[in-house]
Each structure stands twice: as structure tokens, then as C-alpha cells.
Amino acid sequence: MSKKTLIIAEKPSVATDISRALGGFEKKADYFENDEYVLSSAVGHLLELHEPEQYEVKRGKWSFTHLPVIPPHFDLRPIEKSQSRLKVLEKLIHRKDIGHLINACDAGREGELIFRYIVQHARVHHPISRLWLQSMTPAAIREAFEQLRSDADMQPLADAARCRSEADWLIGINGTRAMTAFNSRDGGFFLTTVGRVQTPTLTIVVEREEQIRKFVARDYWEVRAEFACAAGTYEGRWFDPGFQRSESDPELRAERLWNEQRARDIVTACEGKRGRVSEESKPSTQLSPLLFDLTSLQREANSRFGFSAKATLALAQALYERHKVLTYPRTDSRALPEDYVSVVVKTMQMLSGGKAGGKHRQEAAPLRPFAPHARRVLDQGWVKPNRRVFDNSKISDHFAIVPTLQEPGHLSEPELKLYDMVVRRFLAVFFPAAEYLVTTRITEVESHSFKTDGRILVEPGWLAVYGREAQDAQASLVPVEAGETVRTASIGATALQTRPPARYTEATLLSAMEGAGKLVDDDDLRAAMAGKGLGTPATRAAIIEGLIAERYLVRDGRDLHPTAKAFQLLTLLRGLGVEELTAPELTGEWEHKLAQMERGALKRSSFMREIAKMARHIVERAKSYQSDTVPGDYATMQTPCPKCGGTVQENYRRFACTKCDFSLPKHPASRTFEYEEVEQLLRDRTIGPLTGFRSKIGRPFAAVLKISPEFKLEFDFGNSAGDDESPAPDFSGQTSLGTCPKCGGRVFEMPMAYVCENAVGPSKSCDFRSGRVILQQTIAPDQMHKLLSEGRTDLLRDFVSNRTRRKFAARLAREPDGSIAFKFEPRAPRAAKGAPPPSQPPADDAAPAQARPAKSARRPTPPKVPRTKSAPTPRRAHAKSSRAAVPAPAQTVKPAAIPKKAAGKAAAAATRARGVAKKTSSTASSGVVRRPSATSEKKKPQRRTA
């Protein structure tokens, strides 16, 4: 029996393109096959590095005893969400008729790594060839198959790929465990994550915040005048013609006056006087922006629509995978292959409402805004070879993001916004440059110069795609005849102040990450980072989201603010002398050496020895540091010590009184205090509930913090009022939030829960209690009022699953028995095969609304912070999900609307969903969400807590 060749692509869409290019394949369930080839694909990375079992240390047990972690080899473990695809590939690889493998993963370091890990995990030794695809046109694919590369030729690239992966693991694991061990010396477990890309990215934001905090505003003045001429009036601003920029003082400007009296003297000298005019006009052109790569797409979407980088990636991925209207989005290229000209012409025909054959048809509604521009491009013949657009040398693994030949169908509003952005950029890049007439007018009055700038759009060019039209010359600047003198109609001095640098938004942070190589002084390292920066287009969004998830950064509108935890980390790394983790030079050095390795000029073993040495150095610096504190720029609290009235001063580990023994830990239960929270705690002796605490095993929880009568910090989980022996709280000064759904009593707010007045004290007769924080989602008083009065809350989007750590959205709803249940947004019915995709709801950073909440956290064990005597476990502040919280379908799919076989499946699925939905509801009373049994109407369900 002749042996077949197994082709493994990186993603299903590429496998489909290959099958069409080669032809003759029969589609199977998870692969294609013909007489010569079996063709399948991964779905990105299927495996990840994992330390050998003997090196594994449980979370919460990290200490210097087990460091550094430098295993002699690495194991691989499947990524949970991709296990099914890995099993498909393993089964195909081990088929008896397979005797040769072709690596058709993306042409680059990561594509090489994906394939090598699959082969390593499968433990086979078939001959291997490499398909190197730079373009996905059928002709380019067939040509690449004629030029397969040998396995030996690809070994240097494979070595570089493995080294990058293993080096990131070694530095990340050893750095994180060493810093965590250092910060946990006083007891407890304070997770402190570091990484080669994560930490320099955080440093960029922290250093900007430090500049803002240290910034001192300076007063300056500007003088502006209005001049009258025969044709009208125009404005001019005073400037110093002899001004030269100063590197030592970047705030100096030609138009700024730093002395108020001088500004007033200029006003007095010029007021009512006549002046001479000279001006220069010259043409100027502006080219269209380049095509989008992922980073520029994320920047633009954040600036225009406020989309987070994560949301933009999810939308682009949906437009690529589900709707098939955009090309692959995870790219760092802004050019197209040189053989893509004919594909662009066909795409323009599609956008114009015509077909490849030439006849026009009625364009689809989403295409109507683009049709006139696409027709103009075709009529003018503007699609032609152009190195600015078509350039193989500017393409790495993938080309720029452009529309495909697929017409858009039902797109959600956010998807349509993103599609519109990509299509307009695609159209604009083929239009001619915009042409301006730029005029600079200088008006001299009493030896003082005033500048006026005018810019007239003469020919819109590519700006026409965005709705711009040519301007009348007088729309910008009124004309002044030759030799005409003008009169100073009005003049005044305006007092202004310099402003601090702007905080980073996701758009500007993405730019900073992309251009991080500019921050590197060494020429070789800067060259190595050219075009790369920190992270990759595919990982930058995850890096930012990871920093937010770890509470290093918080979003405030569109701005990103570093937290106290972020400043603490930078203080630690600087104090320990491991600044290499904070600077982009580390990435530059790695990229320089990995590039040498790809050329065969550096051995893998040499590089990994250097990485192991660096890991040991980081651990040793943290381990050998003996001082109780770390040098840093620490704050002095405004609120006095609650014990003696002295000054409370921050140090590395605590907020401590300078006169007595009172102090507060800075990181109770792995959560770092912000300065404002410390001030409130000192002033009110209580704060909360606060979220973000973690137990030793990593379970999140929420709690109120109090300073006890003994001046110790305590957790209060708010259940003391529910004890039989505790007196009932006094609600006389509070306003009721509503009527108890169980007994008709009044419901009031307490520190950690909303409780019925009859559910507290020795004579309690009711058990209604609902947490103020459920699965890290704060339930505001107005939402509890809405729940009690209307039966359900608004859609709340910040629940976080304890199992997956992912956000999900749900409503809280009142059940007939008075319990509180999660209610999920209806899940859209799945369309039949071949049917147009349904419209999707707006993308959100949260998980889909139908995501299941995880089980409640077990009782956390905060490190070395005593609890109040009556403090129960915080589990009652969390929600426990049903094991299969399946929301009811939005509608019943009618069998007539879909093929017979699919109709049967849909009907069965709908029946099952109705059955589950009937059973599925959950109580959030006491912060616990449950699923009652099928007999809940007859028998009151038993309450269970996690």
C-alpha cells in the first residue's frame, strides 16, 4: 500500500484554501483527503509548555526553597479548549497509510513552533517537509508546493521558536515565583506576576503616571490679534521668529511668553496699529494611511469607537471566521502580496455591486456606501502594481487585513463599524493623494510678528472615501491684496498653563508597545526590534487584559491608570536591581540573538545557558535581599493614626505610624490598598465591601475591612447580625430598599449583604439575605431596589466565574419562592447549515451573556489578618451556579425553515433546552445561587452553600 502525505495547516481556513488550490479533495468530518494527501489543521497553538512533575509546586507554596526552576527538559500539555482538535491530528498522524508530513502552518517562528509541538507530542518520526506560504492565492499555493523546503533547512527556525517559548517560560516562572516569595515573607500569599513583555509594558504606563504626578504646571501667555482687511478679518498669533527648540526644556514654544508684563507690552504696542502682510503659498499632498494590521486596527477602533483591543480582536476574528468577510486579522503586515492584484480587482468588483464578469447588479445594503468609490477605482484603473501596497518584502506570516470576496450578510452594529473601517481603508489606499494649498501669512505690527496658517483642500483624493470635498479658497483664509496694509481690530493676552503628558489609552499604549524599540539605546538591539516591539499583534490585547485582570491597571473611561500594586512592583524590581525585567532591551537582546540563531550563527544550547543564568540571577537577587524594606518614593497619609494621632507613613510592606506600633499591611489577602482606600480606612475605621481578595489557593472573595478596638485589621464578612446570640441591628435611620419577597418585611443594606429585618437578631423568622457582592459583581442598592420592586435587575456584566476566571453577564431575578436566580440573555438559535449568520449583539469585554457562572468559592483563608469573632465564610457573598445553567432559547426554530435533518436536531435541542430551562433557576439569597429540583413547586428546595 502506497503511503500518503499528511498536510497540517495552522487553521481550518488555510486548509480549505489549500484543498481548493490543489483540487480533487473529498471533505471528511475534520479533514480533506484525496489519493495523495490527507489535509487537516490545528486551530493555533494546541499545546503549551509544562514543567516536569517533580518540579511542580502548588500555588500558595511558592518559596525560595523551590527556586530557581530550571528543568533539564520540558513536558507539553494540551490546551484545554483545543484538546479535541489535537486528538483529530494525533489520530491522522498515526494512521498506518501516513508516511510523510508537510508543515503548512504559518510561515514564521510561531507557525514552526505549533507544528513542532504537535509532532513532539504525537511521538512520530515521519519525514517532514515545509510549505512556506506568503500568499493564499491558488497560484501561489501551487507554486509553494513545487518548492517545499527540507526539514534540515528549517531546523534553525525551529530552534529559535523553541528557545523563545522556553525562555519566556523560565523568566516568567522564576521571576513570578521569586517576587511572590519575596512579597509573601511576612506570611500569606501575595501573587506578584512578571514577564518579558508584561512588565516592560506596565513600566511604560507607570513611568508616564510618575511624570504626571511630578508635573508642576507653569504659567505662560499667548497674544492673539484679529486683523481687518478689505476682504474681511483673519486671526493671527504672536510668535518669536528667532525661536530655537531646547532639548533641556521641551515646554518652550515660539508662541509662548513666560512673562505677563511682556505679553501686556505687546498688546499695548500693537493695539489699533496698522501692519504689513507677507505670505507664502505652496501645494502639499497627503497620502492615504497604509492598510490595517491588527495593532493599527485596534488603535483606530479604540480612538473612534472606544473599543478595547480585546473587543476589536474578537470582532475582527468573527468577521474572519464566522462571516468570512475579512482576511486573517492576527497580522503585523500592512502590505499585500505582489500577486494579489487580480484578487483586489475582483474585490473591488464585489464592492461596486458588479461581478467578475463585469455586469452590475443591485449591491447589498452594507455595500451601498462603498459602491461609488469602488466603481471609481475600477473606472480609473487605479489598481496596479504599487510597492506601497503590493510588496512581498513587507509581509511576514500574513498580509494586511482587507475585505474578502464574500459579501457581508447580517452584521451586528459593532461588526459593521469595524467592517466599514477596513473597507474604507482598503478603498482609500488605491485613491490618489489628497492635494492641499498651504498658506503661511506673517503680519508685522510695530516690529512684532503674528502668524496665520491656512490649509485649503484643493483635490480630496482618498479623503473622498471619507466624505470630504474640495474647499473654496476663502473658506480657509480671506485674501489680502498685494501691498495692502491691515488694521489691528482687536488684540489680547490669554493666560494659560502647561499641561502634564496625557495618560495612556489602549490606542496610545498599543502604539507605545509597537514602537518600544525606539526606547532602546543600543543600535543592534534597536534594529532587532524594528517592526516588532513588545509582544505581537495577536498577543498585545491579551497582555493589556492580563495587566487589568491582575489589577496592575484599571480602566477609567478610555484612560489606563496604574494601581498601587503596579507602583509596588516597579519599586521592588528597581530596589532588587533587576531592572532588566522592566526595560524593552531584554526583548531587543532576545530578538537579536534569535535572529542569529535563525541564520545558524548561534547555537540553541548557548542561548538557553544564558537564559538559565538570568533566571538564577533574578532569584538570587530576591533571595539575598536582607533589608526589611525596599527603597522607593513613598507617601505620607493625610489622616492621622487612629491609635495615637501620629503620622502614618508608607514603607514597602506597610502603612505604619511613626510614633506608636500601629500599622496596616499593604496587601491583605493579595489585594493591594490604594491610597484613597487607606485614607478612608484610617478615617472611618471601616471600608467596603472590597473585591479582589484572594485566598491562599487563589479563590477570589469580597469582604469589609475594619480596624478593631485593639487597632488590628480584620475581615468582616457581614454575617454577625444573623447569629442567634447577636442583637438585631438598628435600622431606624435607614431607608428600606423594598419588600422582602419571602415574608413581606422590609429589606435593608448591611456591610456585606441586603437582609430582611426579620432575618436578623435572636428572634429572626425569615432567612432572606442577598450578597452585596456576588462572584465579584457589586450589586448596587438601586439594583437591589429594582430586583425587589420589579422582579429583576438590569443586565450585570461583571460576574466572574470562579472556575474559568472569565467574565459573564446575567440578571438577578426573583423566583416565586422568594429566592434569587441568575437569568441569562436568550441564546440566539443556531442557523441551519448554509443559512446566513444571525446578527450578533454588540461585542463586549465580558464573556457572552449565556456563559455559565462557576461554582462559588470555597471559604478563603486570608493570610495572617484576623477575622472578627463572628465573621462567617465569605462564600455567602458569592454566587453558586447550576452545573448546567442553560438559558431558554430566544425562540423555537420552526422545522419548515431549515432542512429536514437539521430541523429534527433543532427540535430536539429546543425540547432539551425547554426542559433544562424549566429546571434551571438559582438563588442568590445569602449570595448563593442554586438550581432547584424539578419538584421545586411542590417541595421547598434545600439551600446549599459552596
HEC profile for 880-935? Answer: CCCCCCCCCECCCCCHHHCCHHHHHHHHHHHHHHHHHHHHCCCCCECCCCCCCCCC
pLDDT at 580: 85
pLDDT at 398: 80
Query: Which tens digits make up the pLDDT trace of 695-731?
Result: 766 677 888 889 989 999 988 876 555 455 566 677 8
For 620, counting Cβ atoms within 10 Å of its Cβ (0-12 exposed, 13-18 middle, 19+ buried), the class is middle
- Name the active-site residue from 31, 220, 320, 328: 328
Give the mean pLDDT of 2-31.
Answer: 91
**Residue 793 backbone phi and psi in degrees, to 5:** -90, 175
pLDDT at 469: 73
Residue type, 808: F
Query: Which tens digits make up the pLDDT trace of 331-349?
Result: 888 999 988 898 999 999 9
Query: Which tens digits make up the pLDDT trace of 163-176?
Result: 999 999 999 999 99
**Residue 328 annotated in active site:** yes
Give the mean pLDDT of 127-139.
Answer: 84
For 250, counting Cβ atoms within 10 Å of its Cβ (0-12 exposed, 13-18 middle, 19+ buried), the class is exposed
How confident is residue 473, by pLDDT bands cut at 50, 70 and 90?
low
* 299-303, 821-825, 884-888: range with highest mean pLDDT: 299-303
pLDDT at 425: 96
Q: Are strands 98-104 and 4-9 parallel, antiparallel or unpaired?
A: parallel
Query: Which tens digits make up the pLDDT trace of 737-753?
Result: 999 999 999 999 887 88
Among residues 141, 42, 18, 35, which one has the least CA distance to residue 90?
42
Looking at per-residue pLDDT, the higher value among 276 and 1 belongs to 276
Longest dimension (CA), the chain: 101
Q: Distance between alpha carbon 54 and the CA centroid of its chain, in Å? A: 35
Domain 4-147 -> CATH class:
alpha beta
Q: Where are the domains of the chain?
A: 4-147, 170-210+537-624, 219-288+435-497, 294-427, 720-919
The CATH homologous superfamily for domain 219-288+435-497 is: Topoisomerase I, domain 3 (2.70.20.10)
pTM attached to this predicted model: 0.72
Say how far apart CA 297 and CA 279 lie, in whole Å.
Answer: 40
Q: Which of 79-83, 393-397, 578-582, 914-918 has the lowest mean pLDDT?
A: 914-918
Give a three-class secondary structure readout of 198-210: HHHHHHHHHHHHH
pLDDT at 942: 36
pLDDT at 557: 86
The DSSP 8-state label assigned to residue 622 in this structure reads: H
pLDDT at 527: 60
pLDDT at 893: 31
* DSSP class per residue in 199-253: HHHHHHHHHHHHHHHH----EEEEEEEEEEETTEEEEEEEE-TT----SS-TT--
pLDDT at 613: 94
For 648, counting Cβ atoms within 10 Å of its Cβ (0-12 exposed, 13-18 middle, 19+ buried), the class is buried
Query: Which tens digits make up the pLDDT trace of 560-584?
Result: 999 989 999 999 999 898 988 888 8
Query: Which tens digits make up the pLDDT trace of 59-115?
Result: 556 788 888 889 888 889 999 889 999 999 999 999 999 999 999 998 888 899 999
CA-based R_g, the chain, Å: 33
Grid coordinates in use for 393? 518584502
pLDDT at 471: 62
Give the mean pLDDT of 23-30.
Answer: 91
Number of alpha helices (DSSP H) and beta strands (DSSP E) in the chain: 21, 32
pLDDT at 653: 84
Residue 400, pLDDT above cutoff 70 = yes
The CATH homologous superfamily for domain 294-427 is: Topoisomerase I, domain 4 (1.10.290.10)
Give the mean pLDDT of 779-800.
Answer: 90
Give the mean pLDDT of 477-483.
Answer: 86
Give a three-class secondary structure readout of 123-142: CCCCCEEECCCCCCCHHHHH
Among residues 639, 532, 657, 514, which one has the least CA distance to residue 595?
532
Say how far apart CA 591 and CA 160 lie, in whole Å.
Answer: 10
Sign of the C-alpha dihedral computed for residues 927, 930, 936 and 937 taken in this order: positive
Give the mean pLDDT of 381-395.
Answer: 91
Residue 519, pLDDT above cutoff 70 = no
pLDDT at 906: 41
Give the mean pLDDT of 7-24.
Answer: 91
| Collapsed DSSP state (helix, strand, coil) of residue 464 | helix
pLDDT at 864: 45
Give the mean pLDDT of 209-217.
Answer: 91
pLDDT at 909: 43
* CATH architecture observed for domain 170-210+537-624: Orthogonal Bundle (1.10)
pLDDT at 427: 96
pLDDT at 891: 33
Cβ neighbours, 10 Å, residue 580: 17
Residue 908: which region, alpha, beta or left (left: phi > 0; alpha: psi -120 to 50)? alpha
